[in-house]
Amino acid sequence: MAILVNQQPQCVLYEDDHLLVVNKPAGLNTHAPSPFAGEGIYEWLRHRLPAWAHLATIQRLDKETSGIILFSKSTLANKSLTQQFESRKVEKEYVLLTDRAPTTLAGRVHTGISRVGDKYVTGPIESADTEAETWFTPAGKTSLGWLIRARPLTGRTHQIRVHAASRGCPLLGDVIYGGTTFRRVCLHAERLRFQHPASRQLMEFHAPVDFSADTSDILRAAVIDPEATNAWRVWHGVPDRRPGWFVERWGDWLLSQSERDLTRSQIEELRKLVEKWNLKGAYHKRLLKSLRTQSNTEASPSLIFRREAESTNLTGPFNISEENVKFEVSFDEGYSVGIFLDQRENRRRFLRNHIAAEFPIRTQGLAGCQVLNTFAYTCGFSVCAALAGAVVTSLDLSKKYLDWGRRNFVLNGIDPSKHEFVFGDAFDWLRRFEKKARKFEVIILDPPTFSQSKEGGIWKADQDYAKLVQAALPLLGPSGILLASTNAATLKPEAFVTLVEQSVASVRRKILKRHYAPQPIDFPMNREQPGYLKTLWLRIS
């Protein structure tokens, strides 16, 4: 049974055979700054759809700069647009916000710009690294400060920011260049005008901005379709300016998580979200360092408040939607509610049969594909693979969770009897499957960081992952797909990739294709709060 998956993200403004025009949110890089960092908008788009596999970046925006960004989809577009930018035929207009009276920021600013450390400075053109020219026009005052339109005639790094600061008007939030601290750098690429590379028609795009809006909300709105998905991480600690506090939407409810009880101001923030999205109420869960000593009741969240129209507390399971796929979840099950939101993009890859640019799971589609989902939990991966046509074997140490998984199959119109649900220890069953000469075209390894069973003893992901890969590989057929994922924070991305790849080599198998996937965009990362989820997709000979 196929599921309808929305093809075009909310951030896309326009697309044809040659162009892709996107409204990039603040807080998202144009390109990933390193191989194991969070994806930039370019990587996220390029790996999302087969038609976008050959995207080329025509111009870039800083991470904290929002607005219109242009990508080419064809050789013709790439050549034409590059020439238009180089010959200054493309008209770009930005809007910035400053809290300093712009008495000296109007008209032309034409200087040299040089890099000094991590910053850029203006100076005489003849002695600078390069020259830069910007035209500024005052555009009125708001409660936050003065709006100014900027038209850069050249495209130098930090050009507008440096020129504004050099005239005593640093952007609000641009602390690098002397601006007042704010939730974001207040610079937005508002308008772009150019000639279409094929039709020669004049194209113009306009994207307004509200600098007072919550950037966390805008970031999620750019990449999540609320018509198809009603569960995501709303705030993710430090990168969303809320250290130690994590908030998720689960259908009609909010789930807050932190190590402490909520403050009055935090509860008020939750109330605003509930009103904004017309939800039923909010729950809070204390994040405990030792989960194994806690009962389900102690580890489960508690009701903080509900709307007046909601007469009772939430009891028992309820359903959420992710890419139009239904999952049963519950706030009464202890640490986890039934599905891990940070694996949404990986589940989506099964729905699309598309791992990354020019990397399908199976060239002929997933119909009839044999998939083994170890540590299946409530069978989220299994449901998505089955919806795409695969025949799935779900293996887990808990009968309760496998029964939960069967209910998820039924929720989505899938007959569980046509799939296999296996109760037991993963290592034990991997050995049994090997003895029976079972083969699978896809094997999913997404184990917990810690578990314990009578058959297998104690399992620790950071110590035992290599053994798991080696135990699974005899079951993987030729040119099969291995999905290896872990949320073990002690395993650094580089070490995890090396561990998995060396495990493959140790059994004399060869990696034909690979794709590393970080955690999704609604789980942002930075230096203060690095990423924890690591996923490696491999096609193995």
The catalytic residue positions are: 62
Q: How far is the C-alpha of 203 from the C-alpha of 205, rounded, in Å?
A: 7
Q: How far is the C-alpha of 520 from the C-alpha of 384, rounded, in Å?
A: 17
Contacts of 424 (CB under 8 A, 6+ apart): 395, 397, 455
Place of tokens 């607005």: 67
Q: How far is the C-alpha of 396 from the C-alpha of 414, rounded, in Å?
A: 19
Stretch (H or E) spanning 249: strand 246-250
Q: CB pairs under 8 A, 24+ apart, for 512-515?
A: 512/479, 512/539, 512/540, 512/541, 513/359, 513/538, 513/539, 514/538, 514/539, 515/47, 515/355, 515/356, 515/359
Q: How far is the C-alpha of 4 from the C-alpha of 361, rounded, in Å?
A: 18
Q: How far is the C-alpha of 284 from the C-alpha of 288, rounded, in Å?
A: 13
Q: If 0-12 CB within 10 Å is exposed, 13-18 middle and 19+ buried, where does residue 60 land?
A: middle
Q: How far is the C-alpha of 358 from the C-alpha of 366, rounded, in Å?
A: 16
> Roughly how many angstroms between the first and final C-alpha of the chain, as a whole number?
30
**Beta pairing, strands 130-141 & 146-152:** antiparallel
Place of tokens 């507008």: 160
DSSP code at position 515: E
Q: How far is the C-alpha of 71 from the C-alpha of 58, rounded, in Å?
A: 5
Stretch (H or E) spanning 109: strand 107-116
